[in-house]
Amino acid sequence: MYKAHFGLREHPFGITPDTSFFFACATYQEALNTLVIAAQNGEGFIKITGEVGTGKTMLCRKFMGSLDAGFVTAYIPNPYLEPHTLTLALADELEVVLEKDADQYHILKAINLRLLDLARDGKKVLLCIDEAQAMPIETLEALRLLTNLETEKRKLLQIVMFGQPELDRKLQRKEIRQLNQRITFHYHLGALSLDDMNFYLSHRLAIAGFSGGRLFSLSAMQTLHKASGGIPRLINILAHKSLMVAYGQGKQQVQAAHVRAAAEDTGAARRLSWMRSVAAGLMSGIAACGAVWVYLR
């Protein structure tokens, strides 16, 4: 509803991962480069972690789109699957034809034959798993066993896991320590700094067709960064709502008050603010206790 008001061709702050909006700041470009180099080197396991909303799915799709014709990719967006269902999903992604009611042995045999055929054609096969922290322990172990499929020269299947920090904690469990040892490349996506967020907003606005001056005032930028914690998904949600508030008031520039109104209407931003208040209170309490202790000495 505000596109014409601000001179936009499309909404700049959608939360659906759209690789045309991919923002290659230093950390995200480094993560993408890490993925591409690791894939080209034929590494068995690669892991990307990050908090909710830091752009893991966007990075995953950008990565798959960056690979050349020498790669065949498979993508599993919801890995909360038992081992048997995981192998069926992989077979489906690789277009493996299975006999009706095929058991696990025959499914794995068919996958192995398909991988060998692709290897003979000079193709590398790469499986990307999103939300990997949701995988059951037994499925993670089954995933490790899939990387045992190899020739004398290289692995037949490379696996990239994208997950929240809970994935790291799960991988520390003793029963899957062998999988953890096989992860050769790892990268953690963090929040955007204030400067990176400034470029992030400008980047998305430009792609959406904005050609005017500064759309978010400096105070609005600072308020937006504080309210979102630099998390891209929250930035998008709050920026979109801020534009709606500014449009509703007939304003041509987003001010800090518009961002505060958007944050007040966004539960995740309110929780982030509450957590910061609690943390600040705890730090103040600790400092006060320290001061009393020093005084009593």
What are 224-273's pLDDT values in tens digits? 999 999 999 999 999 999 999 999 999 999 999 999 999 998 876 655 55
pLDDT number for residue 294: 45
State both tokens at 91. 């077979």
Residue 293's pLDDT band (cuts 50, 70, 90) = very low
State how far the Cα of 131 lies from the Cα of 81, in Å rounded to an integer: 12
Residue 90's pLDDT band (cuts 50, 70, 90) = very high
Share of the chain above pLDDT 90, in %: 75
Residue 43's pLDDT band (cuts 50, 70, 90) = confident
pLDDT number for residue 188: 95
Does the pLDDT value for residue 276 go beyond 60?
Answer: no
Residues in the chain: 297
Mean per-residue pLDDT of the chain: 89
State how far the Cα of 57 lies from the Cα of 63, in Å rounded to an integer: 10
Determine contact, residues 170/161, Cβ cutoff 8 Å. Answer: no
> What pTM, to 2 d.p., does this model score?
0.86
Rounded average pLDDT over 48-72: 95
pLDDT number for residue 101: 87
- For 263-268, which contacts have Cβ atoms below 8 Å and span 24 or more sequence positions? 263/223, 263/227, 263/238, 265/241, 266/227, 266/234, 266/237, 266/238, 266/241, 268/234, 268/237
List, in sequence order, the alpha helices (H) in 11-70.
26-40, 56-66
How many Cα neighbours within 13 Å face the side chain of 106?
7
Between 288 and 150, the more confident residue is 150
State how far the Cα of 254 lies from the Cα of 244, in Å rounded to an integer: 9
pLDDT number for residue 57: 95
Does the pLDDT value for residue 275 go beyond 80?
Answer: no
Alpha-carbon separation of residue 15 from 18, 53, 209 (angstroms): 8, 9, 18
Residue 60's pLDDT band (cuts 50, 70, 90) = very high
Tell me the per-residue pLDDT of 94-137, one tens digit each, with 9 for 90 and over: 999 998 889 999 999 999 999 999 999 999 999 999 999 999 99
pLDDT number for residue 271: 57
Q: What structural domains does the chain harbor? A: 26-189 (3.40.50.300), 193-286 (1.10.8)
